[in-house]
Amino acid sequence: MKQRQATDHKTDYWTGFNGGDWQESIDVRDFIQENLTQYDGDEGFLAGPTTATTSLNDTLMALKQQERAAGGVLAADNNIPATLTSHGPGYIEKDLERIVGLQTDQPLKRAFMPYGGLRMAEDALEAYGYPADSTMRQIFTEWRKTHNQGVFDAYTPDMKKARHYKIITGLPDAYGRGRIIPDLPRIALYGIDHLIEAKIQDHGNVGNGEMTDAVLKLREQIAEQIRALKGMKVMAASYGHDIAHPAKTAQEAVQWVYFGYLAAVKTQNGAAMSVGRIDAFLDIYIQRDLEQGLLTEIQAQELIDQFVMKLRMVRFIRTPDYNDLFSGDPIWATLAMAGMGMDGRHHVSKTSFRVLKTLENMGAAPEPNITLLWDKRLPDAFKQYAAKVSIDNSTIQYENDNLMRYQWGTDYYGIACCVSAQPIADGVQFFGARANMAKTVLYAINGGLDELSKVQVGPPVEPIRSEYIDYAEFMAKFDRQLDWVADVYVNALNVIHYMHDKYDYEAEELALKDSKLNYTFATGISGLSHAADSISAIKYGHVKVIRDENGIAVDFQADQDYPRYGNNDERVDNIAKMLVKKLYDKMNTHHLYHHAKLSTSVLTITSNVVYGKNTGTTPNGRQAGKPFSPGANPAYGAEQNGALASLLSTAKIPYKYATDGISNTFGVTPQTLGNTAADQQTTLVNMVDGYMENKGMHLNINVFNRDTLTAAQAHPENYPNLTVRVSGYCVYFADLTKEQQDDVLARTYFETM
């Protein structure tokens, strides 16, 4: 259906587009709805890389090699606090670059970002042999307060203790919280000047003149956003581009979108810096140029290749502690693609294919974190192509579009980090780490005494003293400890987000969203499988406690077999469900910063190794210090009925409570998927279809043999591009710590004989 043509003072820029509400107010979704070109065909049309792309990519690969050889960091600033304009333009090789812009003035050089916390920024520098700068120290201790300082001014002793003894881990109290998805296409569609005008209007419309805290806060934030928008223009101008106006061509559209992303990663070292969802949007611009003969397919692919190449180059400097949690320099430049529209049309375009093609054109890489929003109704050719890419290089994650579209009420959402849906126009998430559920089980048994440090951390409740654990007694005590965890966890996050807004506000990202936002308050759970199996052991397995000389439970012995999570067995799967709901309900009794809506996740990323390291032996037989299973995965070795039984167990975790995502990392050998490439693809497609139909939320798919990993561990030089999907992101196997590599090796790789 051909709509009325777009007419406006921006006619020049919008010629050829169908008009609509998007012309009246800022509404990227409406623009996509009106102008989407669906593609049902196969990958046959795709083009290979241009010589320019290949040459740039070769240079980049060489730089990455040098970076690895230099111990992980190629270059780093220590005395220029990063801003939009702190650095002049940087290039890989200017003449070959179709899409330009680097975080600093040189490829892979890491910027100095002290606003989240000076200590962390300095420690990171020193860990890689760069000296901390005394002037910077003076500025960011004496003259300018950081987020980290603010948080520690307000933390209670209980919060510090919970953090120190790792019942709560990974709190964003010393670095950027991240997880904000800017609506990047706004720059391309409207131009910065129009966005500034709209923000000025919003600024005038805040409150009715009564200066309440909320009104003051929003007025100040919008003013900062306007300043940020102006800064973006200056930043782009340094590369010779004027982004005051909308994009005229596909090349400009890609470039403008990238400038928006660049603004975010120049100013925030957030834990996850998502790109959002740009495939259908950019496709409209590419399609317009193709139709007018201004662009060839080769050139279109070149734009996407080079855009993706830039996403692969984003770097933050992190401390070794952080790297133990999240290895391999992940930044979660998550790129959500495909999905269905609310009107029942799928959003697969040729550009969805073009993005997948980058993996072939430039080799596999962990970033961007390619996330397919899956629905059974997506075109078959696209599903098959995605499966092929997964089998070739294990770089894709699959998420249930149906679940998320329904939960979040929009088809214009992106994925922040790994599995966290976020409406792009008007949604924001306050990111919030994870609570250690398996450790809470031990606190219940030991009366709040930490099993490793022997320090009283949780509430001093009478421990379990009997030889065998009584289920009812255990549950009552568990409840008490979990109450405490919920309380200290949520309130620590209240402190963090208050201070983050105050000292490290993400003006550059929020400038590209609506001024009035809906907030979610994200929390997380680690060790779910071990907690569920432990409680199942207590309930069904007749568990005997073995105590040390201090009376602390250090080992357990189950006299009988008991159901384990991961076998599609209601008895224990219901325990896992109960745990998620219980923690959610307890947290929900508390005040949540900014009146945000509570969400939780079952996601650990690679931190399952560190959480496990800090947790004693659990009643399910997991030995002290051993890694947890990642995300919502069953404990290693618990699965006895094959992959689908395991998948159905994780599919039962209710998304309604865990709206921040439920991660399943799935490993399978190629032979198990089928004997031929065609069979393997079809099996994978059917598997993902089946999982999603059963309300499974997320699947990381790894297709390889354990032998490959063993060889890659011994000879990393032979496998520089071997990528592995870990809970929620993708990483070069060679960049994982030895412990994490061992953990990946210990995982279940479903195979049939």
Partner 1 sequence: MKIFEQKQVGTEQIPLGYVHSIETFGSVDGPGIRYVLFLQGCQMRCQFCHNPDTWQQGVGTEVTAEQILTDAVQYQAFWGQQGGLTVSGGEALLQIDFLIDLFKKAKTRGIRTCLDTCGQPFTRQQPWFSRFEELMRYTDISLVDIKQINSRKHKQLTGRHNENIFAMLAYMLAHNKHIWIRHVLVPQRTDFDVDLIRLGQYIKTLAPIVDKVEVLPYHTMGVTKYTELGLDYPLGAIRPPTPTRIKNAEKLLNCAAYTNYQAYPGYLEA
572 interacts with partner 1 by CB under 8 A: no
Contact 749, 738 (CB under 8 A): no
Contact 412, 423 (CB under 8 A): yes
89 interacts with partner 1 by CB under 8 A: no
Q: How far apart are CA 686 and CA 125, in angstroms?
A: 47
SS (H, E, C) 636-678: CCCCCCCHHHHHHHHHCCCCCCCCCEECCEEEECHHHHCCCHH
Report the residue from 686, 710, 718, 721 that binds partner 1 according to the rule CB under 8 A: 686
If residue 87 lies in a helix (H) or strand (E), which one and from where to where? none
Task: List the one residue out of 730, 65, 603, 752 whose CA is nearest residue 744.
Answer: 730
Report the residue from 239, 691, 704, 749 that binds partner 1 according to the rule CB under 8 A: 691
Residue 682 C-beta: closest distance to partner 1, Å: 7
Nearer to partner 1, 509 or 569 (CB): 569
Chain centre distance of CA 367: 11
Contact 423, 518 (CB under 8 A): yes
Report the residue from 95, 549, 561, 707 that binds partner 1 according to the rule CB under 8 A: 561
674 interacts with partner 1 by CB under 8 A: yes
213 interacts with partner 1 by CB under 8 A: no
643 interacts with partner 1 by CB under 8 A: yes
693 interacts with partner 1 by CB under 8 A: yes
Nearer to partner 1, 376 or 590 (CB): 376
567 interacts with partner 1 by CB under 8 A: yes
Residue 561 C-beta: closest distance to partner 1, Å: 8
683 interacts with partner 1 by CB under 8 A: yes
Q: Which residues contact 528 (CB under 8 A, 6 or more apart)?
A: 437, 565, 576, 579, 580, 602, 632, 653
Nearer to partner 1, 134 or 675 (CB): 675
532 interacts with partner 1 by CB under 8 A: no
Active site residue 730: no
Contact 362, 334 (CB under 8 A): no
In Å, how far are 40, 408, 529, 661 from 656, measured between CA atoms? 32, 11, 19, 10
Number of residues that bind partner 1 (CB under 8 A): 32
Q: Is 131 helix (H, G, I), strand (E, B) or coil?
A: coil
Q: Which residues contact 612 (CB under 8 A, 6 or more apart)?
A: 527, 622, 625, 626, 627, 628
Report the residue from 201, 641, 710, 718 that binds partner 1 according to the rule CB under 8 A: 641
490 interacts with partner 1 by CB under 8 A: no
Task: List the one residue out of 706, 637, 639 whose CA is nearest residue 669.
Answer: 706
Nearer to partner 1, 300 or 643 (CB): 643
Nearer to partner 1, 238 or 669 (CB): 669
- Output the CA torsion sign for 139, 144, 147, 152: positive
**Segment interacting with partner 1 (CB under 8 A) among 68-76, 135-143, 442-450, 560-568:** 560-568
Residue 468 C-beta: closest distance to partner 1, Å: 22
**Segment interacting with partner 1 (CB under 8 A) among 204-212, 304-312, 511-519, 636-644:** 636-644
Nearer to partner 1, 505 or 691 (CB): 691
Q: How far apart are CA 318 and CA 328, in angstroms?
A: 11
Q: Which residues contact 550 (CB under 8 A, 6 or more apart)?
A: 454
In Å, how far are 122, 672, 685, 708, 750 from 753, measured between CA atoms? 52, 8, 22, 18, 10
Residue 563 C-beta: closest distance to partner 1, Å: 7
716 interacts with partner 1 by CB under 8 A: no
**Segment interacting with partner 1 (CB under 8 A) among 255-263, 348-356, 497-505, 683-691:** 683-691
* Biggest alpha carbon–alpha carbon distance for the chain: 81
671 interacts with partner 1 by CB under 8 A: yes
Nearer to partner 1, 20 or 642 (CB): 642
Q: Give me the catalytic one of 151, 263, 313, 417.
A: 417
The tokens of 734 are what?
Answer: 């060679």
DSSP classification of residue 181: -
Residue 567 C-beta: closest distance to partner 1, Å: 6
673 interacts with partner 1 by CB under 8 A: yes
Q: How far apart are CA 310 and CA 90, in angstroms?
A: 12
CB atoms within 10 A of CB 97: 18
Residue 189 C-beta: closest distance to partner 1, Å: 39
The tokens of 500 are what?
Answer: 């983050």
Nearer to partner 1, 263 or 648 (CB): 648
Task: List the one residue out of 360, 336, 359 whose CA is nearest residue 280.
Answer: 336
491 interacts with partner 1 by CB under 8 A: no
Report the residue from 363, 379, 642, 716 that binds partner 1 according to the rule CB under 8 A: 642
Nearer to partner 1, 447 or 696 (CB): 696
Nearer to partner 1, 249 or 694 (CB): 694
The end-to-end CA distance of the chain, in Å, is: 53
Q: Is 706 helix (H, G, I), strand (E, B) or coil?
A: helix
Report the residue from 685, 697, 709, 726 that binds partner 1 according to the rule CB under 8 A: 685
Q: How far apart are CA 399 and CA 688, in angstroms?
A: 9
707 interacts with partner 1 by CB under 8 A: no
Report the residue from 690, 719, 739, 745 that binds partner 1 according to the rule CB under 8 A: 690
689 interacts with partner 1 by CB under 8 A: yes
Residue 575 C-beta: closest distance to partner 1, Å: 15
687 interacts with partner 1 by CB under 8 A: yes
672 interacts with partner 1 by CB under 8 A: yes
694 interacts with partner 1 by CB under 8 A: yes
CB atoms within 10 A of CB 253: 27
**Segment interacting with partner 1 (CB under 8 A) among 430-438, 518-526, 593-601, 674-682:** 674-682
Q: Any bridge partners for residue 420, and if so which?
A: 416
Report the residue from 244, 475, 644, 711 that binds partner 1 according to the rule CB under 8 A: 644
Q: How far apart are CA 562 and CA 106, in angstroms?
A: 58
Q: How far apart are CA 414 and CA 182, in angstroms?
A: 10
Q: Give me the catalytic one of 218, 403, 418, 648.
A: 418
Residue 399 C-beta: closest distance to partner 1, Å: 17
Residue 728 C-beta: closest distance to partner 1, Å: 23
**Segment interacting with partner 1 (CB under 8 A) among 417-425, 485-493, 544-552, 638-646:** 638-646
- Catalytic machinery residues: 417-418
Where along the sequence are the contacts to partner 1 (CB under 8 A)?
A: 561, 563, 567-569, 640-645, 648, 671-675, 678-679, 682-683, 685-687, 689-691, 693-694, 750, 752-753
